[in-house]
Every structure is written in C-alpha cells, then in structure tokens.
Amino acid sequence: MVAQKKRCVLILAAGKGTRMKSSLPKPLHAVCGTPILGHILKASQSLNPAAIGVVVGHGAQTVLQTVQDRLADWGISAPVEFIEQTDLSGSGSAVKAASPFIQKFDTVLILNGDTPLLKTQTLCEMLNTFEAQQAGALVLGVTVPDPSGYGRIVRQANGDFQKIVEDADADAETKKIAEINSGMYVFDSALLQTALQQLTPQGPKHEYYLTDTLALIKAQNRRVVVFNSTDYKQALGINSKAQLAQAQQIMRSRVAQKLMDEGVTLLQPDQTYIDPEVKIGADTVICPGTYILGETVIGKNCVLEGGVYIKDSQIADNVTLKMGTYVEESTVAENCQLGPYAHLRPKSVLCKGAKVGNYSEIKKAVIGEGSKVNHLSYIGDTQMGAGVNVGAGTITCNYDGKNKHQTIIEDHVFIGSNVNFVAPVTVREYAKIGAGSTITKEVPAESLGIARARQVVLENKGVKKND
C-alpha cells in the first residue's frame, strides 16, 4: 500500500530578534491584538496540515507558554509540537533542530516566524505549484520597493533560480536586485534533510542559512521553483519596531477595506483601529479615533463618534455611542444611547433603548429597557428594571470594604438627584426617592423614600452685607 503524502508546517521562531530592542520575544509582539506567531499559526491551520512544528529558542518558555494557552482561542486543532533550538546560529540550524519532526512528513512548508501578513491563499498556491511541478523546493519571491535587509533571489540567464544571497553578503550589483526571498518555502522533506547536512557557516555572524539549501537541492538536479506573488506586502518581515508599526498599518487597512466592502462607513479608515475578528453591520458610521477590539460585534446603523473604545462587547442595531465612550466586556441592546464619556465596565447589560450619559460608570449591572442614567452616576452590582429614571449624581454604595453587595431597583422607579443606595438594598416598583437621600432600607412599591436631614434656617447667620 502506498502511504498517503503527509504535509506539515514548520515555523521558525527561535531567533533573538535583536533589532526589536525589546525584552519581549519577537514572536509575541502583537499586530492588531494578536501576537505575530498567532497570525502565522492561524494561517498554517487553515492549510489543514498533519502537524505544526514551532522552533523556539530565545525566550522559549515565555513563547511556549503564551502560545499554548491561546491555541484553542486561535482555533488551532492540528497537533502543535514545540522544538527547542539551543544553538541560535541561524535559520538553517533552526530547521536542523527540527529534523526529527520534519522527517515524519513528505512535504514541509517552512515559514519564518516574523511575517504576520502572510495570506492563506498564497500558501495554498505555493503547495499546489510545488506538487504540480514536482519540485524539490519552492520559495515565495516578491519584488519590493525597498529590498534592503532581505535575501535576494539570483536567477540564471535563462530566468531559472540560481541561489539566494543574503543582504549582509551581497555585493553592490546583487543589492540592486529587487526580487527578495519572503522566508516562506515548500520542501521535499528528504531532500531538505540531505541539504541541511551540507550547510556551512556563512556571513559575518557565521550562521547556517536555510536559504543555502535551495542551491544545494538544485545541485542535486532537482527543480527549485520561485513562486511569485504581486502582493509583496504579505512578505513583510518584522525585524524592528518600525516594521511592526508598518505591519500593523497594513493589517488595519485590510480590515478597513473588508468592512467597507460589507457596507460599513468609515469616515477616516487610516485613523480607525479595528481588530480583524470584529464584525460590524452595514451603514454603521465609524468616526476617526475609535478603537474596536477583540471579539466585538456591532450591529447595523450604529454611530460611533470619535474616541470611542470598545473591547470584547456586543452592540446591537441603532446604537449611538457618543464621543469618548468606553465599553468593555458588555452587552448593549438596540436603540441605546451612550455618552458622551460613558463607561461600561465588564458584565454590564443595557436593555433596549436604555441611556447612559455624561460621566456615568456602570459595572456588573443590568439597566432595564428605556431606563436612563444620564448624568454623573455610579451604578455597580445592580439589577435595574425598565423605565427607571436615575437622577444626576446617584451612587450605589456597593462595597463595604470587604464585600460587594447588590442593589435592586424595580420597574418605573424615579430617583431624584444625588441619591446614595447603601447596598444590599431594594427599591420596589413605582417608588420615588427624594433628592439627596441616603437609602439604607427597602422602599416599598409606589411609596416615597426620603432620607435626609431637614433644613434649618438660622437668621442673621449668613454673610454680612458690606463686610
């Protein structure tokens, strides 16, 4: 019986990343909220490989721990094997360290661990071309406006692949070549193993270059294919903070383009910070300076004014978020209005048509249908019914220094300004609370609760005229 051809992906993420000048290992730097390595793992997973190998080295424990904890979130179902490279002497030795892993497979797709903009479709096309052309090796080559820093693809007179020359080793003529090695390859596993044995240290840092294996495979009379893509941006390798910012900008513009294609109105796409997983309905208007992050879903016909920040939240249709509103891990139903400068802390729920206005903070509370918390309030650990009107400056005193307590405010309660609720406390439906009250006991339905000192007037104790 002929064994089925098996494919794996190998990601090289052991390098020191010296040029980042950072204490955080390079693969963990985030691009649009997800570590670089997360983007590469997600793209790898969509190829449905038999396994994914990750070579770790510099900051190995941190990288391993962070990635392992997030594999499920990223939807990685292929078995992931971490391989430690102890001698950090180049991409060639990284692959050598992974020899026991790759020899279990027929074909290996190798990806540098610093190219988060890679596209699944290109990787698929690379694998298909590799198979169709019965190649020994294939490299993704792109022509870039500024090739400095990259390995150059040198071709023979007939146009065939000849070799890759690293930037550090290139002469003036070679440096002019604009076609670069993207750091994404497909190899016949057995040929790669043989070529790895033949590598010798190169360049100023005496490194083993993975890129040298291509010429070695060619010397075995096996076909080495350069697969070209015109989308050169997907090959951007992150070696510095400037390249990190550049990658972020490219990914954000891809996200913005996709949202606009789906009917979202972005007033200034390049000044809007939206993570790739975010979903937004048609005709929602997004003003500049907004941050929409994590697993957020926003409905249709919403308006997000400038400075709005939303993370891991669900916002339904026709919601207006005015300037400076901050929403975290919360749910907002349709037709609600927030802000300016409203703050929803985690586990807040706004029911249909609720309003949370200027400088109000809500935490772990339900604000019932059509209820209003319009001015300068703090509502925490509260269950509020429908049609409640909360006066300016109302505070739930939910914390006694040790424990948090609940406030329950039933439907159609009317709360005057500057009221304190000392929790645990319940206000029954249709009750009214006098302004300035500090409520410590239950207020029955349809009654007026008032708890404040009576006013005293002392004559001639005011300011003396003409004093």
What single-letter amino acid sits at 123?
L
Task: State yes or no: residue 449 binds Ca ion (CB under 5 A).
Answer: no
- In this structure, the strands spanning 355-356 and 337-338 are parallel
**Which of the ranges 90-98, 170-178, 263-271, 430-438 carries the binding residues for ligand UD1, by CB under 6 A?**
90-98
Residues comprising the chain, all counted: 467
Measured from the CB atom, the residue of 236 and 280 that comes closer to Ca ion is: 236
Residues of this chain, 42-71, that bind ligand UD1 according to CB under 6 A: 55, 57
Structural tokens at position 12? 């090289």
| Closest distance to ligand UD1 from the beta carbon of 316 (Å) | 42
Task: State yes or no: residue 116 binds Ca ion (CB under 5 A).
Answer: no
Helices (H), 209-360: 212-219, 241-261
Give which of 114, 90, 94, 95 is closest to 27, Cα–Cα.
114
| Closest distance to ligand UD1 from the beta carbon of 64 (Å) | 14
Nearest residue (beta carbon) to Ca ion:
237
Task: State yes or no: residue 237 binds Ca ion (CB under 5 A).
Answer: yes
Task: State yes or no: residue 239 binds ligand UD1 (CB under 6 A).
Answer: yes
Number of residues binding to ligand UD1, judged by CB under 6 A? 29
Structural tokens at position 37? 């390595």
- How many whole angstroms separate alpha carbon 220 and alpha carbon 467? 106
| Member of 8, 10, 14, 423 binding ligand UD1 (CB under 6 A) | 14
Burial of residue 157, with CB atoms counted within 10 A of its CB: 0-12 exposed, 13-18 middle, 19 or more buried: exposed
| Closest distance to ligand UD1 from the beta carbon of 252 (Å) | 21
Q: Are 382 and 368 in contact (CB under 8 A)?
A: no
90 binds, among Ca ion, ligand UD1, none (CB under 5 to 8 A by kind): ligand UD1
Q: If you ran DSSP here, which 8-state letter would residue 458 be given?
A: -
| Closest distance to ligand UD1 from the beta carbon of 92 (Å) | 7
Measured from the CB atom, the residue of 164 and 439 that comes closer to ligand UD1 is: 164
- Residues in CB range of 409: below 8 A, 6 or more apart: 382, 383, 384, 385, 388, 415, 421, 426, 427
Task: State yes or no: residue 114 binds ligand UD1 (CB under 6 A).
Answer: yes
Task: State yes or no: residue 308 binds ligand UD1 (CB under 6 A).
Answer: no
274 binds, among Ca ion, ligand UD1, none (CB under 5 to 8 A by kind): none
Strand partners, 347: none
Give which of 390, 386, 403, 402 is closest to 437, Cα–Cα.
390
- Name the strand (E) or helix (H) holding 101: helix 99-102
- How many whole angstroms separate alpha carbon 88 and alpha carbon 156? 32
| Member of 20, 138, 140, 180 binding ligand UD1 (CB under 6 A) | 180
**Which of the ranges 11-19, 382-390, 406-414, 423-431 carries the binding residues for ligand UD1, by CB under 6 A?**
11-19
Q: How many CA atoms lie within 13 A of 183 on its CB side?
A: 26
Nearest residue (beta carbon) to ligand UD1:
151
Structural tokens at position 283? 């005709």
- How many whole angstroms separate alpha carbon 180 and alpha carbon 182? 6
Phi/psi at 376 (nearest 5 deg)?
A: 50, 50
**Which of the ranges 112-120, 154-162, 362-370, 383-391 carries the binding residues for ligand UD1, by CB under 6 A?**
112-120
- How many whole angstroms separate alpha carbon 273 and alpha carbon 31? 11
- How many whole angstroms separate alpha carbon 171 and alpha carbon 193? 30
Residues of this chain, 130-169, that bind ligand UD1 according to CB under 6 A: 150-151, 164, 166
Task: State yes or no: residue 114 binds Ca ion (CB under 5 A).
Answer: yes
Measured from the CB atom, the residue of 4 and 148 that comes closer to ligand UD1 is: 148
End-to-end CA, the chain: 110
- How many whole angstroms separate alpha carbon 13 and alpha carbon 242? 19
55 binds, among Ca ion, ligand UD1, none (CB under 5 to 8 A by kind): ligand UD1
Task: State yes or no: residue 122 binds ligand UD1 (CB under 6 A).
Answer: no
88 binds, among ligand UD1, Ca ion, none (CB under 5 to 8 A by kind): ligand UD1
393 binds, among Ca ion, ligand UD1, none (CB under 5 to 8 A by kind): none
**Which of the ranges 89-97, 365-373, 430-438, 457-465 carries the binding residues for ligand UD1, by CB under 6 A?**
89-97
**Which of the ranges 110-118, 249-257, 323-331, 459-467 carries the binding residues for ligand UD1, by CB under 6 A?**
110-118
**Which of the ranges 208-216, 364-372, 376-384, 456-464 carries the binding residues for ligand UD1, by CB under 6 A?**
208-216
Q: What is the set of active-site residues?
A: 375
- How many whole angstroms separate alpha carbon 162 and alpha carbon 175? 16
Helices (H), 262-319: none
Burial of residue 24, with CB atoms counted within 10 A of its CB: 0-12 exposed, 13-18 middle, 19 or more buried: middle
| Member of 34, 44, 112, 337 binding ligand UD1 (CB under 6 A) | 112
Phi/psi at 343 (nearest 5 deg)?
A: -130, 110
| Closest distance to ligand UD1 from the beta carbon of 84 (Å) | 11
Task: State yes or no: residue 328 binds Ca ion (CB under 5 A).
Answer: no
Please report, as ranges, the residues that interact with ligand UD1 according to CB under 6 A: 12-15, 55, 57, 85, 88-91, 93-94, 112-114, 150-151, 164, 166, 180-183, 209-211, 237, 239
Please report, as ranges, the residues that interact with Ca ion according to CB under 5 A: 114, 237, 239
